């Protein structure tokens, strides 16, 4: 695991060129490192932007000034990490930032590991584990809804909800333990009839968090949607329409798409990995055979399949095989602006004995029905009810631990009911303490080093 005693440094802005790039230094020697690379003995004033020049470390190019910068010092504990922090804002050239990084390392700092700045913030009590994970989610967000959910967790909404549940459990456990500690007096610090009432409140609060967690996972993790169908039915045209760019090649010849083409899009606030596939038919050569195999494989693991049919051509055996598949799907009936070779699936008039509720008529050439398709697609991805509020729980680790806590409370209530409300305190305490332990794992009050390593390893360097 990371050593908190070292002073660490990393480039805190993304790779590439930009107007400004930031190098972050954190640790007890942050001021000393800054003084060496800025070539001055004067200490930086806290929270004051200071204009300076960075002096390069001695190397093959020789020492000397390499850039004009603005350095800002944050005095512990009022910093991101809870330690002394210096942030050097330079011109956003990769060469310049690397030179500043090397200068700081030559001045005594160690290159930070991925997530080490946020890990130190966690160790120093600036944030809990829920908020630390929210930092990574906020950095990785690709839709406004993802960013909002992560920001709410960073602000402590989930932490506060869990703290209230934990406080209720702690109070109940304390009173049960007090009843055990004074058995001779025969006094109960909590009336037997009140125990289930309080446990019911706890169970409801946990249930509210878990109940919306399914949609929370959709927001955080996104969904994979595969566009499937025969060749030349309009799959790539649909793909481009949903992406909003000419991402896939569209041509009159059948079999233009031979491999999987994917793009990430925002669909009703959900991050969607949209995949265009090769047309499914009896392949003509080995390359097309591999493309069809990949198309079938992608559809088999997709969260939703957009099955595209061509209404201007009669349905054939390939169409029927696709329609008979058990995948979760939305049928897109394309080319409805052309003379119909069969009746619409969406109007309830069956086509050769086929009728489906999950069909929508579109014309990708004219744009007819595309807006309704996007609306229907968003509804299918989010479920029956639209997202009125941002889900409090989005992380599968949090969900599993909340379910574990809810199960423990449920066992205590069941045992209490089986004994007619007259259950010795000792028998309830084990389940209630297990519930508290699960809640403390969510926030990181009790967490293994392996879990911490796993969580922070997925952070970018510099965060």
Q: What is the pLDDT of residues 407-439, one digit of tens each?
A: 999 998 888 887 765 666 677 888 999 999 999
- pLDDT-derived band of residue 360, with 50, 70 and 90 as boundaries? confident
Sheet holding 329-334, edge to edge: 261-267, 270-276, 223-229, 304-310, 329-334, 359-361
Does residue 409 share a domain with residue 361? no
Whether 461 is in a domain gets the answer no
pLDDT exceeds 50 at position 348? no
* Cα 85 from Cα 94, distance rounded (Å): 22
- Express as a percent the part of the chain with pLDDT over 90: 38
Q: Write the Ramachandran bin of 169: left for phi over 0, alpha for psi from -120 to 50, otherwise beta.
A: alpha
Here the CATH number for the domain that contains residue 248 is 3.40.50.300
- Express as a percent the part of the chain with pLDDT over 70: 84
| Average pLDDT value over all residues in the chain | 84
Does residue 397 share a domain with residue 297? no
Burial class (CB in 10 A: 0-12, 13-18, 19+), 418: exposed
Q: Where among 356, 382, 408 does a domain terminate?
A: 382
Does residue 276 share a domain with residue 205? no
- 73 or 416: whose pLDDT is higher? 73
- Which residue, among 29, 21, 25, has the nearest Cα to 112 in the 3D structure? 25
- 440 or 229: whose pLDDT is higher? 440
pTM passes above 0.85: no
Does residue 307 share a domain with residue 206? no
- How many separate domains does the chain show? 3
Check: CB of residue 223 under 8 Å from CB of residue 273: yes
Whether 459 is in a domain gets the answer no
Does residue 326 share a domain with residue 262? yes
The first and second tokens of residue 68, run together, are: 């004009």
Neighbours of 41 (CB within 10 A): 7
124 Cβ neighbours under 8 A, 6+ residues apart? 77, 81, 82, 83
Torsion of Cα atoms, 358 then 361 then 366 then 368, to 10°:
-80
Mean pLDDT of the 82-92 span: 96
Write the pLDDT tens digit of every residue in 315-343. 888 888 888 776 788 888 888 888 888 77
Does residue 284 share a domain with residue 340? yes
Question: Is the link from the previous residue into 14 a cis peptide, with omega within 30 of 0?
Answer: no
Write the pLDDT tens digit of every residue in 363-375. 888 889 888 888 8
Does residue 161 share a domain with residue 76? no
Does residue 443 share a domain with residue 426? yes
Here the CATH number for the domain that contains residue 167 is 1.20.120.430
Here the CATH number for the domain that contains residue 53 is 3.30.1360.120
Does residue 326 share a domain with residue 236? yes
Supply the range of the domain harboring residue 94. Answer: 8-126
Write the pLDDT tens digit of every residue in 201-249. 999 999 999 988 888 888 888 889 988 888 888 888 888 888 887 766 6
Whether 458 is in a domain gets the answer no
The first and second tokens of residue 257, run together, are: 């798409």
Q: Where among 73, 94, 126 does a domain terminate?
A: 126
Does residue 171 share a domain with residue 154? yes
Q: Where among 126, 144, 167 does a domain terminate?
A: 126
Does residue 120 share a domain with residue 144? no
């Amino acid at each position: 695991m990371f050593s908190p005693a070292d002073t660490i440094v990393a480039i805190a802005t993304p790779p590439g060129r930009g107007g400004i790039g930031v190098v972050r230094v954190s640790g007890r020697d942050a001021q000393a490192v800054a003084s060496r690379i800025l070539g001055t003995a004067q200490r930086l004033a806290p929270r004051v932007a200071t204009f300076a020049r960075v002096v390069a470390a001695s190397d093959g190019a020789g020492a000397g000034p390499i850039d004009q910068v603005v350095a800002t010092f944050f005095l512990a504990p009022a910093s991101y990490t809870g330690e002394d922090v210096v942030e050097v804002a330079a011109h956003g050239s990769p060469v310049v930032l690397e030179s500043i990084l090397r200068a700081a390392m030559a001045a005594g700092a160690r290159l930070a590991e991925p997530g080490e700045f946020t890990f130190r913030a966690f160790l120093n009590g600036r944030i809990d584990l829920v908020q630390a994970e929210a930092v990574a989610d906020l950095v990785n967000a690709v839709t406004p809804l993802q960013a909002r959910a992560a920001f709410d967790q960073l602000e402590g909404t989930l932490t506060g909800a869990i703290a209230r549940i934990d406080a209720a459990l702690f109070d109940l456990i304390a009173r049960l333990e007090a009843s055990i500690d004074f058995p001779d007096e025969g006094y109960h610090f909590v009336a037997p009839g009140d125990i289930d009432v309080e446990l019911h409140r706890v169970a409801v609060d946990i249930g509210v968090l878990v109940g919306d967690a399914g949609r929370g996972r959709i927001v955080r993790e996104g969904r994979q949607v595969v566009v499937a169908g025969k060749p030349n039915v309009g799959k790539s045209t649909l793909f481009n329409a949903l992406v909003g760019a000419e991402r896939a090649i569209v041509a009159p010849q059948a079999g233009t798409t031979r491999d999987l083409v994917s793009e990430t899009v925002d669909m009703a606030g959900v991050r969607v990995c949209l995949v265009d596939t090769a047309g499914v038919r009896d392949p003509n050569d080995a390359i097309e055979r591999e493309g069809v195999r990949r198309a079938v494989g992608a559809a088999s693991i997709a969260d939703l399949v957009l099955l595209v049919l061509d209404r201007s051509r009669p349905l054939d055996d390939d169409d029927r095989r696709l329609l008979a598949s058990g995948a979760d799907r939305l049928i897109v009936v394309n080319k409805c602006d052309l003379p119909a070779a069969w009746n619409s699936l969406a109007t309830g008039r069956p086509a050769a004995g086929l009728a489906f509720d999950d069909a929508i008529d579109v014309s990708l050439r004219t744009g007819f029905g595309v807006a309704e398709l996007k609306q229907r697609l968003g509804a299918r991805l989010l479920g029956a009810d639209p997202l009125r509020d941002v889900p409090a729980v989005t992380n599968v680790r949090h969900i599993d631990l909340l379910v574990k806590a809810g199960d423990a409370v449920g066992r205590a209530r069941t045992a209490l009911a089986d004994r007619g409300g007259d259950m010795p305190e000792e028998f309830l305490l084990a389940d209630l303490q297990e519930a508290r332990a699960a809640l403390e794992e969510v926030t990181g009050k009790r967490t293994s080093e392996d879990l911490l390593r796993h969580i922070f390893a997925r952070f970018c360097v510099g965060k």
